[in-house]
Amino acid sequence: MILLHPDCLIFHTPGGETFPCSAEMLTIELIGNHATKVEPEVVREAAAAVAHYFRIELCQEHVTLDEFTEALAKALQQLGYEVVLTDPALDKLAAAVGEAESSPKLDLRQVAASCGKGFELIFFQHLRSELRTLLKTSPNVLRFHNLRGCVKQLAGRQRWCPHCEKLSDQIVEYVRECLSSEASEVGLVIV
């Protein structure tokens, strides 16, 4: 079984698809145009509260989009905001999820394995090269998977530790920076 990041849940779309996603990222997507009216810290707090509610209080990792949307609306109302979460937002999200399922994928653990004994130093060079290759196909969304396995391989660890967490954050930040410098309109999914 895959251990999800504490901020992630597994969402079920009305079309029957499932996908893991950060509660914060989904919240930003659902709020859409209203996101500029809500302070970023409020979005983070609301998303964290909803993720905590499902994961800790209900002991639930699997959530429908409707359940999440309803809980998010209540959390934002408790914080003094009136944000209308509409069905078109859900349709847009479902379309993005479908698009992500068919988008180019990169196995981060394979990239780490291809680096041999160069570990982190060569890994980041290989990762940027692979990213550029994927971007040549002009995708709307890029999917990176096996982040956890990649990190443990690079760190030379069997179990997750604080060093692994730091390295994981560095890889995600590096991919985001590369994408922002290479292509501005590409979505990103890292699991």
Mean pLDDT value across residues 48-63: 85
Q: CA dist 163 to 1, 122, 152, 154, Å? A: 22, 18, 9, 11
Average pLDDT over residues 88-98: 49
Q: How far apart are CA 176 and CA 101, in angstroms?
A: 20
161 pLDDT exceeds 80? yes
Q: What is the pLDDT of residue 1?
A: 43
- Supply the angle between the helices 147-155 and 119-135 in degrees, to the nearest 10: 150
Mean pLDDT (whole number) for 98-125: 77
Instruction: Kindly state the tokens that stand for 58.
Output: 């209900």
Residue 189 bridge partners (DSSP):
143
Stretch 104-108: mean pLDDT: 85
Higher per-residue confidence, 56 vs 80: 56
**pLDDT of res. 127:** 92
Per domain, the residue ranges of the chain are: 8-100, 103-190
Nearest in space to 127 (alpha carbons), one of 186, 170, 185, 187: 170
**Most confidently modeled range among 89-93, 114-118, 165-169:** 165-169
Most confident of 61-70, 76-85, 134-143, 161-170: 161-170
Residue 97 has pLDDT above 60, yes or no: no
Backbone angles phi, psi at 103, to 5 degrees: -80, 165
Q: At what angle do helices 87-101 and 23-31 cross, to 10 degrees?
A: 130
What's the whole-number mean pLDDT along residues 56-76?
82
pLDDT in tens, 138-149: 777 777 888 888
Indicate if the pLDDT at residue 187 is higher than 80: no
pTM over 0.85: no
